[in-house]
A and B are shown apart, each in its own frame.
Chain A
């Protein structure tokens, strides 16, 4: 059982009383998550529910230098300065090797916790960052425009209106993947969340202002005040869980590592959140890609490995699945500035105790004209459908507005 350090009852809440929230005692308004009768009794049986952690690799990850077709001579021909030498690669089988920075991922693969899907993409690929990310996040065809995200539609389908955040993202912008038709208490956690609350002094003052019931009864003012208190209380609750957490793995100091640490803390804290979204930026490597890309892959690999280990040590790995995705891969041939330009299909990682390990699919066909898109082997919506169906047990075809083949990684 995960440790329970989140207050579930009114009394418990006030005993642990976080600074500034004493105001609730006098206000006549408590956050809804406290007043719900179910919570006054016991936590809902949600702890066993499956959780998805999405790691967005923003900018377009170079798939060919992540999972390397090291026995294909054309790889070396296409990349005179950017190819990784055969003896430096981490060999996985007769066709595939990992980039040297990915050793932690190799271990996860060996331990049977990692699935690697080759050439994930979609038909008629778009090479604009914005548009392609929109396609991935809304799970639309490249000729359709949707304004809800695939996870937003999952929430629409699965969650009843709850004031406890069903989805949490790191960073200030709500991911498009979370946009939904109904209203969900989606929560955003700012970049430098730890040790510093968002808005600092301003939030303190705002909370003090909320103490004064300028409006009472069934007025818009009272409604606004109540909703705002609720949002701030969730914020505090999350912050406290994060601050009190003792990780059982060593995370890299990088932002991604810290965000994953915070996600582990929220899962361990028993938050009801089903989906977490975190972003690693910088993959748009048009020039001098070698070191940049090696560093990014290192951060990614070490962070994911630490996260997985932490979950295991806390006995939480049973309920968590982690997936990476990027808007596109990069072109097979390097450009004139020791970088690579926007491409199409690329590999994708799925990590977790319950995934079927291994490499799925064949290496990309490098005999094609490098200006042509790398053909996709898996449609990303097949990946989503598999997760929605097999992991979340939710009507995938409805969420994705279409029937997509389920894959074998779960």
Chain B
């Protein structure tokens, strides 16, 4: 992709947008990009609060991530289960117990997936959830690979809670995360046989980027992380497996431990721009920013003590974030697309897994299961005829009434349970569309365009929709439905 050339200078780029330029259009851009969707009430509130306070609120007090009961239960019982498997008297018995455990893992995985989407779908949580989704794509662990949902959940929770902390501290916490210890083989690394997997990714993906370290640095750093273990999800440093000898890393020599390596690495020049560049890919543009811009942002970030909360707030309040060339051009990830649809259509996350888990896989973003340690590369790689077809099917599903008679018993029970706490809206009903049936077609279209699309539509685009809506032969409700669906399937709605 061609790099973008911003119109503001590198220095001005990261200055806060001036108060006088804060308006509804920019508020919508902020809310849609930081979160997933936008409502008129939110636009009004953010106009009243101003940009700084709006962004401040987004990351001020995120409610804790709810813990699904099946995760707690798995944590409490998994060790006992392992013991029973070990003690099994026959092969058949062992197989049965293994199957049982697998089933519980899958159930826990499904629960935590739905629970996360439910959390993220609340507009007050959305910006924080989106930022944490970004961090999860930096500090990648994969349920598909380690198959320990409770460890993956706690890893997510860790990033959720520390998403505004100083970056070095977050890296240190991640090096103690049980899921990470499993995923990058720290639990196989000992003084005698250091495993380099974690140390390499720490430098390449978490802190510095490719080329900013030598193979020797990786080898030496790997020694510092030996002896890292997890027992029942808790971190333990096994002193007898740990190499406490002298190491030379980035030209400095000392008896570094893991934390010491992270403190060394964050002082490397490349650390200033590595994560800011990734964050800009998430919030600004998948085309690379010229390096002067990243260096300026990196300088500011280093001055903040490499604070993550500072970084995300700075990006979202900067002039460059609101420049026209950075608006409406980012391809939505499946996560953004799905949650955007839920928010824009005011729907609830289905309380049962099938209509959720499968579309995510089909759209190319199996929840909690990035394809490899690099995470999803995103951007145009999200899009092919298959994933587009999955996105279109998703829109169709949200506009088709759910036939409850065809749900299986488990799903129906889950739906009834969810309804005890309030109505559950799974699709756009005809009754809701009927409310628009008496409005002039132009009004309906303008309303849709304003709230669904990130930017202004061309007059021809608008006319096409108005023309369809004004047509005859079909019931007006069907025409409204068609217009809404086509709009949500259009290239424009796939952008934010």
Q: Which residues of A contact B (CB under 8 A)?
A: 124, 126, 128, 131, 143, 145, 147, 163, 165, 172-174, 179, 181, 183-188, 199, 201-202, 205-206, 208-212, 214-215, 218-221, 223-225, 227-228, 230-231, 234
Contacts and interface: CB of A to CB of B under 8 A. Distances in A.
Given A147-B144, A188-B386, A201-B478, 7 more contacts: A163-B385, A185-B386, A199-B396, A202-B396, A206-B490, A218-B1, A224-B495
Nearest to A126: B99
Nearest to B485: A202
A201 B474 CA distance: 10
Q: What's the dominant secondary structure at chain A's contact region?
A: loop
B155 to A, nearest CB: 19
Interface stretch (B47-55, B223-231, B436-444, B455-463): B455-463
A220 B331 contact: yes
B147 interface: yes
A225 B495 CA distance: 11
Interface string B151-163: 0000000000000
Interface in B314-341: 328-331
Nearest to A218: B2
A174 B362 contact: yes
B144 A145 contact: yes
Contact of A205 (B98, B361, B468): B468
B113 interface: no
Nearest to B364: A183
Interface of B: 1-2, 95, 98-99, 102-103, 144, 147, 286, 328-331, 358, 361-362, 366, 369, 371, 379-381, 383-386, 388-390, 392-393, 396, 457-458, 460-461, 464-465, 468, 474, 478, 482-483, 485-487, 489-492, 494-495
Contacts of B388: 227-228, 231
Contacts of A186: 385-386
A212 B461 contact: yes
Nearest to B99: A126
Given A126-B99, A201-B482, A221 B464 contact: no
B149 to A, nearest CB: 13
Contacts of A205: 464-465, 468, 482-483, 486
B458 to A, nearest CB: 6
Nearest to B479: A201
Contacts of B396: 199, 202
A146 to B, nearest CB: 9
A183 B495 contact: no
B482 A208 contact: no
A45 B225 CA distance: 56
A71 to B, nearest CB: 31
A224 B331 contact: yes
B482 A221 contact: no
B461 A227 contact: no
A206 B486 contact: yes
Contacts of B457: 214
B144 A209 contact: no
A274 to B, nearest CB: 16
A223 B474 contact: no
B492 A221 contact: yes
A262 B358 CA distance: 26
Contacts of B358: 173
11 contacts: A126-B99, A131-B102, A187-B385, A201-B478, A205-B464, A205-B465, A210-B490, A214-B457, A214-B461, A215-B491, A224-B383
A202 B386 contact: no
A126 B96 CA distance: 10
Nearest to A209: B490
A179 B362 CA distance: 9
B384 A183 contact: yes
Contacts of B147: 145
B330 A202 contact: no
Nearest to B91: A124
Contact of B458 (A199, A214, A230, A234): A214
B489 to A, nearest CB: 6
A179 B390 CA distance: 13
B495 A221 contact: yes
Nearest to A231: B385
A188 to B, nearest CB: 6
B385 A209 contact: no
A131 B95 CA distance: 14
Contacts of B371: 181
B491 A210 contact: yes
A174 B381 CA distance: 18
Contacts of B490: 206, 209-210
Given A227-B383, A228-B388, A220 B482 contact: no
Nearest to A227: B383
A212 B383 CA distance: 20
Contacts of B384: 183, 185, 227
A208 B144 CA distance: 41
Contact of A212 (B390, B464, B486): B464
A234 B386 CA distance: 12
Contacts of A228: 388, 491
A131 B105 CA distance: 13
B491 A214 contact: yes
A188 B383 contact: no
A284 B231 CA distance: 43
A377 to B, nearest CB: 21
A127 B358 CA distance: 21
A234 B369 CA distance: 30
Contacts of B361: 179
B385 A227 contact: yes
A112 B153 CA distance: 56
B270 to A, nearest CB: 28
A140 to B, nearest CB: 12
User: Most chain-A CB neighbours within 10 Å: which of B389, B390, B461?
Assistant: B389
A135 B222 CA distance: 37
The 8 closest A-B pairs by CB, nearest first: A224-B491, A231-B385, A205-B486, A206-B486, A225-B491, A212-B460, A183-B384, A212-B461
A215 B453 CA distance: 14
Contacts of A218: 1-2
Contacts of B329: 219-221
A340 B261 CA distance: 62
Given A173-B358, A174-B362, A231 B389 contact: yes
Contacts of A231: 385, 388-389
Nearest to A183: B384
B491 A221 contact: yes
Contacts of B381: 183
A199 B331 contact: no
A209 to B, nearest CB: 5
Contacts of B392: 199
Contacts of A214: 457-458, 461, 491-492
B482 A184 contact: no
A159 to B, nearest CB: 14
Given A209-B490, A214-B491, A220 B330 contact: yes
A223 B330 CA distance: 12
A126 B330 CA distance: 44
Contacts of A147: 144, 366, 369
Contacts of B286: 220
